[in-house]
Amino acid sequence: MKFQVRTEETEQKITIIVDGELDLSTAPQLTEAINQSVERTDKLLELDLGGLQYIDSTGLGVMISMLKERDRLHAEVTISHIPPKIKRLLDITGVSRFLAVSS
């Protein structure tokens, strides 16, 4: 499946929607989308993983970097629509304990 990232913005939040396989070759696309929004502390930043089919360690690193940066800025970030197999990976790696999950 081809990897795609798109961003939607409302008055309250910025949503980054991820579809496809997030790996070493596609991580720069997500990093670019995150970098365009991560410092917007006036809005909630949401990462929607509903269409994510696969994630490798590089993709996890991008997510962790986003979480660290938002924490440094004292700004909210949530992860939504996590597919079960991705949720399991986040649980196994311990990343899920740092996530604010929304439905």
Q: What is the CATH number of the domain that holds 91?
A: 3.30.750.24
Q: How many domains does the chain have?
A: 1
Mean confidence (pLDDT) of the chain: 93
Indicate the range of 74-78, 85-89, 97-101 predicted with least confidence.
Answer: 97-101
- Domain of residue 46 covers 4-102
At residue 13, does pLDDT exceed 90?
A: yes
User: What's residue 7's pLDDT?
Assistant: 98
Residues 6+ apart with CB under 8 A from 66: 34, 38, 45, 47, 77
Contact 14, 7 (CB under 8 A): yes
Beta bridge partners of 20: 52
User: What's residue 101's pLDDT?
Assistant: 67
Residue 6 CB burial class (10 angstroms; 0-12, 13-18, ≥19): exposed
Please give the share of the chain, as a percent, with pLDDT higher than 70. Answer: 95
At residue 11, does pLDDT exceed 80?
A: yes
The total number of residues written for the chain in this structure:
103
Residue 68's pLDDT band (boundaries 50, 70, 90)?
very high
Please give the share of the chain, as a percent, with pLDDT higher than 90. Answer: 85
Cα 50 to Cα 43, 68, 73, 74, 87: the distances in Å are 21, 22, 26, 26, 11
pTM of the model: 0.92
